[in-house]
Amino acid sequence: DAEKKKMAEFKAMEVDRREAKIFEELFKPKLSRRGQRTQGRTMQSQHELWEYKREAKIHEQRLAAIAREMSAVQDAPDINARSAALAARRREKEGLAGYTHLEAMIERDRLAKLAQWEREQLR
């Protein structure tokens, strides 16, 4: 039973192949010169698709270039090791050894304002 079905399918496929071959041999369209020169809509849409893909690729390349440039940008400047050591030594002398650079600046400013207020009070 299964063999009969397979044989029937095989014969049907063989008939389809023969018909396709005959059709290919018989069907040869004759186009006029004007017809040969015309561009079909499918070619035009393929060109538009190609242009769209090209523009998308260029856009992606631009974004990649911007990303590469932005990866080289630093959030903060590089501090020279010698300068950092000098600043730490100064903070130690001023009694601000446990403070960060920004905290030390704020504390210095606060102390300067306090000293100025005290001078004004003594007048």
For the residues of 61-75, what is the DSSP string, one character each? HHHHHHHHHHHH--S
Residue 115 has pLDDT above 90, yes or no: yes
Choose between 35 and 40: higher pLDDT: 35
Which amino acid belongs to residue 21? K
CA distance 56 to 38: 29
Which residues, including other chains, have CB under 8 Å from residue 96's CB and lie 6 or more apart?
Answer: 103, 104, 107, 108
For residue 104, which of 96, 113, 112 has the smallest C-alpha distance? Answer: 96
Residue 101 has pLDDT above 70, yes or no: yes
Indicate the pTM of the whole model: 0.34
Tokens at 68, concatenated: 């590469």
| Mean of pLDDT values over 99-117 | 92
Over residues 3-20, the pLDDT tens digits come to 888 899 999 999 999 988
Over residues 44-68, the pLDDT tens digits come to 778 888 899 999 999 999 999 999 9
Share of the chain above pLDDT 70, in %: 96
Taken in order 104, 109, 114, 118, the sign of the CA dihedral is positive
Which amino acid belongs to residue 92? E
Residue 43 has pLDDT above 70, yes or no: no
Please give the pLDDT value at position 114: 95
CA angle, 74 then 79 then 85, to 5°: 155
